Amino acid sequence: MLFSKNPTSRFLLLTLTFVLLLSFSININASDPTNTEDDSDDLEQLLALDEQEDQLPEDQDQDQESSSRFSEAEVLSKAQRIVLELNSDNSKRVIDENEFVLLLGYAPWCVRSAELMPQFAEAATSLKELGSPVLMAKLDAERYPKMASLLDIKGFPTLLLFVNGTSQAYTGGFSAEEIMIWARKKTGVPVIRINTVTEAEDFLKKHHMFVIGLFEKFEGSDYRAFIKAAISDNEIQFAEASNIEVAKLLYPYIKATNFLGIVKSEPERYTAYDGTFEMENILQFLDYNKFPLVTKLTELNSVRVYSSPIKLQVYVFAKADDFKTLLEPLQDVARKFTTKVMFIYIDIVDENLAKPFLTLFGLEESKNTLVTAFDNKGSSKYLLQSDPTPSNIEEFCSGLLHGSISTYFKSQPIPDNVRNNASVLAVVGKTFDDLVLNSPKNVLLEVYTPWCINCETTSKQIEKLAKHFKGLDSLIFAKIDASANEHPKLQVDDYPSLFLYKAGDKDNPIKLSTKSGSKELAAFINKQVRPKDQAAKDEL
């Protein structure tokens, strides 16, 4: 864990690192496979099997399954069969012969690949039912590394859309619905037109979040802006209607044409757009309103959450059972801060998601409900230090908005340097002001971390120097563990680091070289802190 010259930049770096770890960017091992590359089933065979299954009576399904030459290991479900398994022999042919191919590059051992694969298969089923021209395919990038490299698959999992053989990066969400919506938008269906009550009812069954636009005629500048927004957005299904009674089945509070609103399957279900019909304004409206009142963070939605334009984000860490009780009152609080504060829930027992955040606060071992906040615009972090009741959370959020909540800097408990009879004082975040910045004496501070390879050698050197200068009352030797303590004025580039805070000029510490020997350091200290007429020769 590194400090930068600006402590808030360090937090930004840590957050960015955490985002990257969650954003499916694990490098592929490019070693050659040791096993023989077996041919996978051709697309024609798979689609033919699906058609046969569709036509079979239910009582014949089991017989057909058992008599099929496709083993259970090769074909686990109808949804999985729709996804064509590529290999070294068929990949180029499939991509070249199909106008649209959405490809999932995966590794069998990759947890995130395993999480994404059923969502991908479900999306494939939905796309087939809709008559989409998109062919869904997958490639075991570990088994076929040369083909993976040729297709520019650089991590697990990777999603790529090939249009007439040319690839483009996937930029949508990772649920089945989000994959399906993105694929349709990129292949010619950015908006679904709804003409009848039956179509509206069917649409409601399939989409838990969508944008509805009502226009008297599908023309004009407002409508063109609506279409441009639909094409530019990568996550939300857009629907359009010209009949107000049909549109009201999707959004009951419509009163006139040239209307746009977003619908979500949560208590805050309907939100109307009240701005001018311009693409940028519509997209901004969606960015601020597409998330639920309280969003549960997962590895699949983490990138979308971090990239939200709502930069003030409140994180609630709690056990699942405890959060069930807190959710409804928390939604009431969130409703008061809509578009200003984003509320996010993380299961505190989920180490992959919770621990990296809690470590930033020095609370990684916590098991009870905690409320924290991050200002991603200013890269600051905050901690609710009272009980996490709804009223306290609301007061906490108000303080965040008004700037009356102090930035949180983690600190170890205050050590008893007197009882420990320490020659080198232990400094923590809470005592940095008193022992270093406000001390009337010169302070030589060692900044270290437990995991630093060279810190132990430097620490022994500082202990030796502290004993040598024991009789010099104007000088204090101190050390701070930067992995567990923070302070806004602690400036560190690497570990170990040595700083001399001179009395009377604590705002401009002098950095000493950790590569210097004890005699060189002693000579430097003599020169800086001893009166010239009392300078003594170094006897180390």
Two structure tokens written together for 369: 């409900």
**How far from chain centre, in Å, is Cα 255?**
39
- Angstrom distances, CA of residue 342 to CA of 222, 314, 326, 334: 30, 6, 16, 8
If you search the block for the tokens 């997958």, which residue do you land on? 138
Half-sphere exposure (Cβ direction) of 322: Cα atoms closer than 13 Å: 15
161 — alpha (psi -120 to 50), left (phi > 0) or beta? Answer: beta
Strands across the sheet containing 237-241? 191-193, 237-241, 209-214, 259-264, 270-272
Q: Are 379 and 8 in contact (CB under 8 A)?
A: yes
**Which positions are annotated as active-site residues?**
110, 452, 455
Query: Which residues lie closer than 8 Å to 454 by C-beta, 6 or more apart?
Result: 495, 496, 514
Pick from 283, 231, 289, 218: nearest CA to 257: 218
Query: Concatenated DSSP letters for 299-312?
Result: TTTHHHHHT-S--E
DSSP states along 439-481: -SSEEEEEEE-TT-SSHHHHHHHHHHHHHHTTT-TTEEEEEEE
Residue 141 contacts residue 74 (beta carbons within 8 Å): no
- Structural contact between residues 479 and 446, judged by C-beta atoms closer than 8 angstroms: yes
